[in-house]
Structure formats: C-alpha cells, structure tokens
C-alpha cells in the first residue's frame, strides 16, 4: 500500500462496508453449505423468516458450521478491522436460507443502545459470508455512509453481486437489504396467508414451505448467507450483544471447545452465552 492510500479499516469506517473476495475456498464453502442444509430442514432452531428460514444463533446452532467459518483468513480479516484491540466474536450469527428482505439496519431503536450508537466510537461489524454466486437480482444492496444516519434514508444504493466464498464486511448500522420479494413471491404470500386463515394454520410457515418447494422444482439452488457479528472489546460491542441476546434468546448450545480454543489462540474473545465469555483451560488450548 502506498503512502496516502486508504486502509481497509478506513474504507470500512468511512463507507460502512468492504468487499473481500475469495476469503473461503470451494471446499470450505461446500462444507458450510452441507452443515446448514443438513440442519435447516430438521432443526427447530431454524424458523420461518420472510419466505425462508433463519437461525439467529447459527455459529452455535448449526453443528459443523464453525469449523469452516472460523478460518484463518476470516479471523485475520476481522483482526485487521479491529487492529490493536482484542476482537470479540458474539453469539449473534444469523444464518439465512432463501430469505427475502426489505431495507433495514441491524440496530433497532427499541434495543435502547444509547445515544452514542451513531457516534465515532461505535465499531460493531458483520461478516456476511455467501455460499453461492449471487446474480444482480439477488445481490446484497447497501447505502454507503448510511451507518452514520439514525433513520433509513434515500441515499444512493450500490449492488454487491458476490461469488461463493466472498465476504462483505459491514457496519451493523448501515442500510442494507438482500434479495427482495418479487411479484410472484408477493402473490404467493398473500395466497398462503388467506389459506392459513381458513385452515387455522401458520401462514408464514405455509408460505415458506410452498416457496421452498417451488424453488426446488424450478432448479434454484438454496441461497445461503451467514452473518457473523464481531467488534473490539469495548462497551459498545457488549451492549449490542446483550441487546441481541434479549431479543433472540441465549445460544442454544455451547460452542465446540476446539473452536473456542481456535479463537483464543488468535487472541479473540467469545461472548454470547448466558454466563458471558466462555472460559478455556490451558489443557484445552494445548490440545487444539
């Protein structure tokens, strides 16, 4: 990098997002897809969400996911964003399968995060990991600079079509959305809700199931994204994690000891359990 050129961290802080190509290998992508798909169809930890399925505590809820997700390359990228401070990985880790969305921020006014949430000290990020190539119609969209605005505005948006294994780092405060519902989805959603009212069933669950079967019949590969939250060891990160835990509940299971040890060997801390940071013994670290 030449003198005067912006650093990756300064780009993330100024624009609110940064694209990192080819962070994961093809084998790592396949391993994560298999872990998610083998769990999503059978586990109650995945719930219907906007036409798809979502697990809010994916790092803990999806067996095998973390073995590929917590790779050396991803952890190095996270450390570069936090630089001299300790990286804190939280239990906030959404896993989305075929979820459609509108514009939103990952901070919620009802969480009572405090007046400083849009100030300079707030540096809580998500690493969005995509497990398939995304067309422009399905790409993540972001409004650069909107992480400094309390309300969703009308800033110009950019589309970020990414390839499998790419990672988008973004500030949790930024305006963003994934693939929106198209006209067919909206009509199907309306029909499923009407049918559910007549039958006394769950309209969202019906919509999710019918939509998944239609996508499979059309040969569409499930669209999977993993969103891991991290930040510096600072009050802002802890406040965000506690607020998310209050909304989404505690992690459903302990993280594998080998993964906790892997984080510790990188000098990273894990928070998100009911008891706070997960402790490690010297024997556990030495055996990893």
Work out whether strand 158-160 and strand 17-20 pair parallel, antiparallel, or are unpaired.
Answer: unpaired
284 — pLDDT class (breaks 50, 70, 90): very low
Q: What residues does 94 pair with on adjacent strands?
A: 227
Give the pLDDT score at 113: 63
Residue 234: is its pLDDT beyond 70? Answer: yes
**pLDDT over 50 at 32, yes or no:** yes
Reported as type and span, the H/E element at residue 205 is: helix 203-217
Tokens 């909107």, residue located: 146
Write out the two tokens for 267.
């000098």
Q: How many CB atoms lie within 10 A of CB 130?
A: 25
DSSP designation for 220: P
Q: pLDDT per residue over 81-107, tens digit each?
A: 987 778 999 988 999 998 888 888 888
Give pLDDT tens digits for 246-274.
Answer: 888 888 888 889 999 999 999 998 887 54
Percentage of the chain beyond pLDDT 90 is 32
- Strand pairing of 87-97 and 269-270? parallel
pLDDT of 117 strictly over 80:
no
**pLDDT at site 278:** 38
Per-residue confidence band for 228, with pLDDT thresholds at 50, 70 and 90: very high
Percent of the chain with pLDDT over 70: 88
Distance between CA atoms of 230 and 214, rounded to whole angstroms?
36
Query: CB atoms < 10 A from the CB of 81, how many?
Result: 21
Q: Is 274 left (phi over 0), alpha (psi -120 to 50) or beta?
A: alpha
Distance CA 44, CA 193 (A): 22
Helix, coil or strand: residue 87: strand
**Does residue 242 or residue 66 have the better pLDDT?**
66
**Residue extents of the structural domains in the chain:** 8-179+223-286
- Check residue 108 and give its pLDDT: 66
Give the chain's mean pLDDT. 82
Task: List Cα–Cα distances, 282 to 9, 257, 288, in angstroms.
Answer: 33, 12, 10
**If you classify domain 8-179+223-286 with CATH, what class do you get?**
mainly beta
Q: What is the pLDDT of residue 199?
A: 82
Q: What is the DSSP letter of 11?
A: H
Q: Residue 70 above 80 pLDDT?
A: yes
Higher pLDDT, 236 or 154: 236
Position 287 confidence tier, pLDDT thresholds 50, 70, 90: very low
pLDDT, tens digit, 9 for 90 and up, residues 118-169: 777 788 999 999 999 988 878 888 999 888 777 666 778 888 889 999 999 9
Q: Is the pLDDT of residue 221 over 90?
A: no
Would you give the DSSP letter of residue 164? T
- Predicted local distance difference test score (pLDDT) of residue 238: 86
Is pLDDT larger for residue 284 or for residue 63? Answer: 63
Q: Which carries the bigger pLDDT value, residue 236 or residue 3?
A: 236
């Amino acid at each position: 990098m030449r003198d005067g050129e912006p650093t990756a961290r300064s780009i993330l802080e100024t624009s609110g997002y940064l694209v990192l190509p080819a962070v994961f290998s093809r084998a790592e992508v396949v391993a994560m897809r298999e872990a998610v798909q083998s769990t999503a169809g059978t586990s109650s930890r995945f719930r219907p969400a906007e036409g798809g399925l979502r697990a809010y505590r994916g790092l803990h809820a999806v067996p095998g996911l973390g073995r590929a997700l917590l790779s050396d390359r991803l952890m190095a990228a996270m450390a570069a964003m936090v630089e001299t401070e300790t990286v804190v990985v939280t239990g906030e880790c959404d896993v989305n399968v075929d979820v459609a969305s509108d514009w939103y921020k990952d901070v919620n006014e009802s969480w009572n995060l405090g007046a400083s949430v849009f100030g300079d000290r707030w540096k809580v990020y998500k690493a969005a990991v995509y497990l398939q190539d995304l067309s422009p119609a399905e790409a993540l969209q972001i409004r650069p600079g909107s992480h400094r605005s309390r309300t969703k505005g009308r800033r110009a948006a950019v589309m970020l079509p990414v390839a499998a294994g790419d990672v988008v780092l973004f500030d949790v405060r930024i305006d963003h959305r994934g693939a929106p519902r198209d006209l067919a989805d909206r009509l199907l959603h309306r029909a499923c809700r009407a049918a559910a009212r007549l039958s006394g069933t769950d309209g969202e669950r019906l919509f999710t199931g019918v939509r998944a079967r239609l996508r499979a019949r059309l040969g569409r590969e499930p669209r999977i994204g993993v969103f891991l939250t991290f930040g510096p060891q600072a009050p802002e990160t802890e406040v965000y994690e506690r607020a998310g835990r209050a909304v989404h509940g505690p992690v459903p299971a302990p993280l594998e000891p080998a993964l906790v040890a892997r984080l510790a060997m990188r000098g990273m801390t894990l928070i998100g359990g009911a008891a706070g940071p997960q402790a490690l013994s010297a024997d556990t670290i030495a055996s990893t």
